[in-house]
Amino acid sequence: MNQGGAAYTSISLKVPAGGVQQIDQQGTFVACLKSSVESCKISIDGATPGIFYQGLKIRTQAGQPFNFIIIDNTAGTVPAALTIAVGFGDVLDSSFVDNTQKTASGFGLAFGETGAAALFTNCQLWNPAGSGIVAKITSIVISTSVAQQLLAGFTTVQMGIGKPFGQSKYGGQAVSKSQGFDEKSAAANSGNLLNTAPLQSPMIPASSAFPLQFSDPLILPANMGYAIYSSVANSTVTVEFDFLEVTG
């Protein structure tokens, strides 16, 4: 098929629960048009698998063609039936627009955890199992009572203390499906240093707002969270997440 100056092939497949399927097809982009599951994973030319869900389109860097893709449903408990498009160039027709964006709702959520002697403070935005949405974090504003290098990362473990749900940016609408959580731990997390750009690990000043704006949102499928971890004991950490919740 050829639309909007791009050639592509539409492929329907069903990947069993716990399984993978390789597709030997060249292209510079792959798009998920339909999916029976909230998310699975995709690997391009054997690279580390990343999240793949309905409405997502992935392009290669500098338009370099790939030779094969692998749809990974090893973490799935049910088969994943997908329709994907693989092709060259870009696609402008509406069947390839991320239609889930048409049902996106914006939310803001601010909360924090006070410090305690000999304990480390951790905060998290969590998208629960069965939520029916994908959360997309567009920015985080962080403040800490003690100057420190914070750590951050995706996590598949929900923290222990429930905090508020996000408030809609559209007046009178329901709260978010995603929820804030926090906890204290006896040891510092061993995750990645929080970066503002590649190879930078900034010292976040005490008692000042430190904004992180993402050019590409951080994607949270169901049953996954994104966490901020203190690296200095007995420090209070406050976070403000801005995010979208996208339904299929």
Q: Which of 56-65, 108-117, 227-236 comes out lowest in average pLDDT?
A: 56-65
Predicted TM-score (pTM) of the model is 0.62
| pLDDT mean over 28-34 | 86
CA 204 – CA 56 distance, rounded (Å): 33
| pLDDT mean over 217-234 | 91
Question: Is 87 within 8 Å of 28 (Cβ atoms)?
Answer: yes
Give how far Cα 246 sits from Cα of 6, 93, 141, 165, 203, Å: 27, 21, 22, 16, 33
- Mean residue pLDDT of the chain comes to 83
162-213 pLDDT per residue, tens: 999 999 988 778 899 999 999 999 998 876 666 544 434 568 889 888 888 8
Please determine, for residue 33, whether its predicted confidence score (pLDDT) is greater than 60: yes
Helix, strand, coil percent content, the chain, rounded in steps of 5: 5, 50, 45
**Predicted pLDDT of residue 248:** 52
What are the domain boundaries of the chain? 2-97, 101-246
**Predicted pLDDT of residue 71:** 94
**Predicted pLDDT of residue 21:** 94
More confident residue, 244 or 5: 244
89-129 pLDDT per residue, tens: 755 433 443 433 334 578 999 999 999 999 999 999 999 99
Query: Concatenated DSSP letters for 131-156?
Result: ---EEEEEEEEEEESS-B--EEEEES
Task: Give burial (CB, 10 Å; 0-12/13-18/19+) of 243.
Answer: buried
CA 33 – CA 58 distance, rounded (Å): 12
**Predicted pLDDT of residue 87:** 87
**Predicted pLDDT of residue 99:** 38
Please determine, for residue 50, whether its predicted confidence score (pLDDT) is greater than 90: no
Q: Which CATH number fits domain 2-97: 3.10.290.10, 3.40.50.12500, 3.90.1150.150, 2.60.120.10?
A: 2.60.120.10
Please determine, for residue 133, whether its predicted confidence score (pLDDT) is greater than 70: yes
**Predicted pLDDT of residue 52:** 83
Could you tell me the maximum CA-CA distance found in the chain, to the nearest angstrom? Answer: 63
Q: Which of 134-143, 147-156, 188-197 comes out lowest in average pLDDT?
A: 188-197
Best CA proximity match to 129, nearest among 76, 172, 90, 92: 76
**Predicted pLDDT of residue 242:** 94
| pLDDT mean over 155-166 | 92
Query: Concatenated DSSP letters for 73-93?
Result: -TT-SS-EEEEEEEESS---S
Q: What percent of the chain has pLDDT over 90?
A: 42
**Predicted pLDDT of residue 194:** 62
8-18 pLDDT per residue, tens: 788 999 999 99
CA 192 – CA 174 distance, rounded (Å): 34
